Structure 1
Amino acid sequence: MTKVQLPLSKKESRLYMAFMWVTYISLFVGGLMGLLQTFVRSGKFKLPFNIDYYTILTVHGVILGLVLTTFFIIGFQFSLMGKTVGISDKQLKVAWLSFWVMLIGTIMAAITILVGEASVLYTFYAPLRAHPAFYFGLALVIIGSWIAAFVNFRQLYVWKKAHKGEKSPLPAFMVIINMLMWFIATIGVATSVLVLFIPWSLGYAETINVLLSRTLFWYFGHPLVYFWLLPAYMAWYVVIPKIIGGKLFSDALARMAFILLLMFSIPVGFHHQLTEPGIDPTWKFIQVVLTFMVVIPSLMTAFSIFASFETTGRRKGYKSLFGWFKKLPWKDVRFLAPFIGMAAFIPGGVGGIVNASHQMNALVHNTIWITGHFHLTAATTVVLTFFGITYWLVPHLTGRRLTPRLNRLGIIQTFIWTIGMTIMSGAMHIQGLLGGPRRSSFSEYAGGEQVATWINYQIAQAVGGTILFIGILLMVYIFIQLTFFAPRGVQEYPIAVEEDDAEPTPKILENWYLWVGITIALILFAYTIPVIDILKHSPPGSPPFDWLIGR
């Protein structure tokens, strides 16, 4: 890994901060919608002004699940690329284009949701139909993200030309893996939106192929989870070791883990469709097997991170079995928030095994267990790591410092978030095991003893949601402080270097043709025959694919 960090210009910092601003506005709006949801589900509150429950549910999912994550990730990754391989003025202009295209798309989709024309949830399953502007907005967000991806690809290409024979900086390598995965995966949802949903919503097609649309969504939907997770992994691998005063355990191990995540994150979407008819069970089983393959890079990541923890502690002289663990910088929020995110990933991973397993999935599939799992992984593991990044990235970009006072507030915010999410997610998991449905408001439940039991857990969710919203308000306050009011100074951009005695990184790990080729081969293997079967057995009049099967 290169030991040279490039300075970020003011022009660059303005771009990266633009992404952060959209992120934290989204956090506030989406968090408020989530709070209202928990109140409604508790049965103690009704929405004013005839606001539809599914409107706020859709805003919550789209704004937090798609907008917040995508803007934060692309902004953070641009900063990593700028620090390690640089960005030219021309590339910077194209990067701004990606921001504005994404923002316009976000505004289009948000307006249609808020006026009640797109209450279709963030999965926008057919036959639910939204206003065409919603789908056009989603298409623009995807196109904008593609522009950002190709800026990243170009950045590394230019760097490699200027540094022939050198291995690329690890953060840049990781960004390229994530954006390759994103680009390949979003081809599925883009096809679904452009070819199926938009003609149907405009009235050019009378019907829509529901199973095909859901299959294309989940071709994208599962790697979306890894698109969120990989930037957290980037921070765990290359930022956290620097913060604790250590070094990266193994550059080669980190690259191999990311390559495996690229290969095994996409051809696995059927494990979200285990309860759906129309897909051969054999192909469902094959994709479940491929799903479990991601356990390997996850364990590699856990091993590498804790190896960095232990070697750093040993180097500082802590010789007892767990002395190094006790001496980690627990009072530094830059470490504490991501570490709690790491810890949450353990039960989150266990829940993922349940969700991806045939028989156990049948028990929890349409219950609020899935929502609890989602909040444990994305909203705890990923979001807490993003908060941890914010504490040093924002002041670095704004020329300010993370003061002891703001650090203490960050620690308080981290514990508030952890407590709130534990209560809310735990109640969701338990209610799900008791059969409580997801995607439903309290007003839709029938009476009976079982519903009375559910209500207790829904009240607990409202309590947890209230605590979480307090955490959101505090995080937004900290963000504003770090942007405008913290003292001027220099905040480190922490990127760790590799251990001096680490094994050399094999050149084959940067053979993009090989790894992308294997990824595409796995996708073709997992999806070609099932998709042909879906088209072949689609009901008559399922446009626009009739010509493919000779109708």
Structure 2
Amino acid sequence: MKNMSDTRGRSLSLAHLYVAYSALALGGLAGLLQVLVRSGGLTLPAGIDYYQILTVHGVLLGLILTTFFIIGFLHASIIRTSGPYSNRSIVLGWLGFWIMLIGTIMSASMILLNEATVLYTFYAPLMAHWLFYLGLTFVVVGSWFSGAAMISAYRHWRKEHPGQTSPLLTFMAIITIVLWIIATLGVAGTVLFQLLPWSLGIVERVDVLTSRTLFWYFGHPLVYFWLLPAYMAWYAIIPKVIGGRVFSDSLARLSFLLFLLFSIPVGFHHQLVEPGIDAFWKYLQVVLTFMVVIPSLMTAFSLFATFEIRGRELGAKGLFGWLRKLPWKDARFTVPFIGMLAFIPAGAGGLINASNQMNQVVHNTIWVTGHFHLTLATTVVLTFFGISYWLIPHLTGRVLTKEMNRLAIIQAIVWTVGMGIMSLSMHAAGLLGAPRRSAFSTYGDAPQALAWIPYQAAQAIGGTILFIGIILVLYIVVSLAFFSPKGTETFPVADSGSAKTPKALEDWRIWLTILTALILIAYSVPFIDMIQQAPPASKGYRLW
């Protein structure tokens, strides 16, 4: 029975990963076309719109790739550390997968048919076909079923092990999926009760400020839904890869709880230039946004302490001698480590975006896109690639060969070079005022556009290099899934040590109560104001 459950769990995780990398292939191609159009070097054929491929790129990579990969990884992490799924969890997991897949096909089909060219944020008053909104609803609801499978497995483990501290990786997975479920209540609310009835013609108008606020209630914690699985690997897997152990189990759990608390009630910092929200509430949420620096610094301290301790165990001397002792030829370490380093400038850019005064300079410029590509497309995605290089062969019963390991490191270097060129040019062009989403042909005779041209050429060069990186990673993934030699690839999980973890860190009543209070403080009065002082709602229009 145990082996049967393991097999079923592996198949469930693999199905999610296959969809994720399929989204990478299509979304990556759309990204290449996008930067070529922005540079003025490509004219799309008749029937294909620039904003259509922009929507394909954003939705498939920002929502579909990440959500499917993360859920697949979380399933595998819980099964690895807490045991095989029960029949109930398997059924819930597969139900969630198929609902999400159906929703993905529905939404993607509408985008490809140019019936949902509403960009990644699908802001009103842009209006999409109702099937697009229904598909998004399916994706969200399906993810809730997947979350129910994980929570059921976690509750079963706690019932079977009363009084014991849950495995660290399982605990982190549950924090991640709880964050996702609470955050998606916002986007589900605006889609189900505003955008879907609006696109069906049931209601004529929609309140734009309310819909944008509900979106960003979801949109910022989405960033941490991307980041926390990467942090899971950094905290609990990378130490095992380098031969070390978790620096502190308690510190790791506390940092994840703080990310849960301070990532949700902060959506207003994406709306700093919008009218209709009192400055006090914007200020409060900016303060809460900056609180996330605390668990970020805790994470950095924990990781580099782990690296230094292991390096000195291997005989390192001097202030930075431990760096030479790290396994730089192991893609399981090197690829995520590059992602860690990228998070230093990415985090600094995030502080600028969240600052009221500095945000005025970069708001809605391509600086924001450059920041987005440093956080998600470098820090998160490179860590996901590093996870895939051992997780996929682990799930398929194959091994990461020396040749694939070497190619994986080359792929990471190619990706880093391409992203460095593209992201830096985006930041620079943004400081010169280059708009965030416009195509080259829409600039007209704006004199400042001349200053943007060199940077957009650099974006095209960087984007082309990135597409080569996508081809490489897809080749590696297919090889590891279907063609590598049969064998056993371990799922590395580091020892958490013998120090006792305070029980309060796993008392969900405490943390969910605090989280609920923070959300109510941050959003209840502003929402009342929005409803009481709402302007006439907006009619919709389509972008095409």
TM-score by length of 2: 0.97
Label 1:363 to 1:88 Cα distance change in 2 as closer, same or farther (>3 A): same
Q: Deviations over 1:401-433 (max 9, x none)?
A: 100000010010000000000000000000000
RMSD: 1.3
Confirm or deny: 8 A CA contact 1:19 1:75 kept in the other structure: yes
Alignment of 1:22-33 (within 5 A): 22-33=19-30
Give runs of aligned pairs for residues 140-159 of structure 1, distance below 5 A: 140-159=138-157
Structure 1 residues 262 and 7, CA gap change in structure 2 (3 angstroms):
farther
Secondary structure, aligned partner of 2:46: helix
Tell me if the contact between 1:270 and 1:288 (Cα under 8 Å) persists in the aligned partners.
Answer: yes
Within the candidate set 501, 520, 527, 2:523 is matched to 527
Mapping for residues 15-414 of structure 1, pairs under 5 Å: 15-86=12-83, 87-414=85-412
* Distance across 2 between alignment mates of 1:302 and 1:359: 27
* Distance in structure 2 (CA, Å) of the matches to 1:286 and 1:307: 33
Q: Contact 1:8/1:83 (CA < 8 Å) preserved in 2?
A: no
- Displacement, 1:93? 1.6
1:480-495 alignment to 2 at 5 Å? 480-495=478-493
Q: Displacement of 1:12 after TM fit?
A: 1.5
Structure 1 residue corresponding to 2:468, chosen from 462, 467, 470: 470
Q: CA deviation at 1:324?
A: 1.1
- Following TM superposition, by how much is the alpha carbon of 1:91 offset from its aligned partner in structure 2, in angstroms? 1.3
- Whether the 8 Å CA contact 1:106–1:137 is kept in 2: the answer is yes
SS at match of 1:9: helix
Are the aligned partners of 2:217 and 2:267 in contact in 1 as well (CA < 8 Å)?
Answer: yes
CA distance in 2, matches of 1:234, 1:538: 42
Native 8 Å contact 1:402 1:486 kept in 2: yes
Structure 2 CA distance for partners of 1:47 and 1:293, relative to 1, 3 Å = same
Retained in 1: the 8 A contact 2:104–2:139?
yes
> Is the counterpart of residue 9 in structure 1 residue 6 in structure 2?
yes
- The answer to whether the Cα contact below 8 Å between 2:176 and 2:225 also exists between their aligned partners in 1 is yes
Q: Distance in 2 between matches of 1:417 and 1:6?
A: 38
CA distance in 1, matches of 2:389, 2:214: 37
The amino acid that maps onto 1:530 is: P
- The answer to whether the 8 Å contact 2:399/2:480 transfers is yes
Measure, in 1, the Cα distance between the counterparts of 2:450 and 2:423.
19
SS at match of 1:535: helix
Cα displacement (A) at 1:89:
2.2
Cα distance, 1:50 vs. partner? 2.9
Alpha-carbon offset, residue 439 of structure 1:
1.0
Q: Which residue number corresponds to residue 502 of structure 2?
A: 506
The answer for unaligned runs of 5 or more in structure 1 is: 544-551
Contact 1:54 1:119 in 2 (8 A): yes
Q: Which amino acid aligns with 1:260?
A: L
Letter in 2 for 1:98: G
How far apart are the structure 1 equivalents of 2:226 and 2:4?
A: 26
Displacement of 1:94 in angstroms is 1.5
> Once the 2 structures are TM-superposed, how far is the Cα of residue 446 of structure 1 from its aligned partner?
2.1
Q: Tell me whether 534-543 or 270-279 shows the greater mean CA deviation.
A: 534-543
Distance 2:4 2:379 in 1: 30
| TM-aligned CA deviation for residue 449 of structure 1 | 3.8
For the 8 Å contact 1:8–1:82, the answer to whether it is kept is no
Deviation at 1:7, TM superposition (A): 9.8
Cα gap change, 1:484 to 1:303, in 2 (>3 Å)? same
User: Which range moves more in the overlay, 187-196 or 440-449?
Assistant: 440-449
Task: Tell me, yes or no, if the aligned pair for 2:158 and 2:166 is still in contact at 8 Å.
Answer: yes
Report what 2:419 is aligned to: 421
- Give the Cα separation in 1 of the matches to 2:330 and 2:5: 24
Paired letter, 2:6: S
Q: What does the per-residue CA deviation read over 1:316-363, in whole Å, with 9 as the maximum and x for residues that have no partner?
A: 222322111111011111101100000000000010010000111011
Alignment length (residue pairs): 537
1:498 CA drift (Å): 1.9
Tell me whether 9-18 or 482-491 shows the greater mean CA deviation: 9-18
The 1:542/1:460 distance shift into structure 2, 3 A limit, reads closer
What corresponds to 2:439 in structure 1?
441
What is the distance in 2 between the residues matched to 1:435 and 1:6? Answer: 58
CA distance in 1, matches of 2:234, 2:295: 14
Q: What does residue 432 of structure 1 align with? A: 430
In structure 2, the residue matched to 1:537 is 533
1:207-265 per-residue CA deviation (whole Å, 9 max, x = no partner) reads 10000000000000000000000000000000000000000010000000000000000
CA 1:6–1:426 in 2, change beyond 3 Å: closer, same or farther?
farther
Deviation at 1:48, TM superposition (A): 1.2
TM-score, scaled relative to structure 1? 0.96
8 Å contact from structure 1 (residues 7, 83) kept in 2: no
Distance 2:87 2:379 in 1: 35
Letter of the aligned partner of 2:30 in structure 1?
Answer: M
Task: Report the alpha carbon displacement of residue 453 of structure 1 after superposing the two structures with TM.
Answer: 1.6
CA distance 1:394–1:118, shift in 2 (3 Å):
same
Asked whether the equivalents of residues 6 and 84 of structure 1 are also in contact (C-alpha less than 8 Å), the reply is: no
Q: What per-residue deviation string (whole Å, max 9, x for no partner) do you get for residues 38-61 of structure 1?
A: 000011110013311110000000
Any conservation in 2 of the 1:42–1:455 contact (CA below 8 Å)? yes
Return the match for 2:514 from 518, 522, 529: 518
Contact in 1 for aligned 2:342/2:379 (Cα 8 Å): yes
Q: Take 2:19 and 2:157, find their aligned partners in 1: how far apart are those partners?
A: 29
1:69-102 alpha-carbon deviations (Å, 9 max, x no partner): 0000000000001111121123112101100000
Q: Rate the CA distance shift 1:8–1:413 in 2: closer, same or farther, 3 A.
A: farther
- Partners of 2:132 and 2:160 lie apart in 1 by 43
Q: Structure 2, unaligned stretches of length 5 or more?
A: 540-544
**Contact 1:181-1:223 at 8 Å conserved across structures:** yes
In structure 1, how many angstroms separate the alpha carbons of the residues matched to 2:270 and 2:3? 42
Percent identity, aligned pairs only? 61
Distance in 2 (alpha carbons) for counterparts of 1:178 and 1:203: 36
Query: How much does 1:8 deviate?
Result: 6.8
Moved more, 282-291 or 45-54: 45-54
CA deviation map 1:351-409 (0-9, x unaligned): 00100001110110010000000000000000000000000000000111100000010
Separation in 2, partners of 1:535, 1:294: 30
Shift of 1:541: 5.9
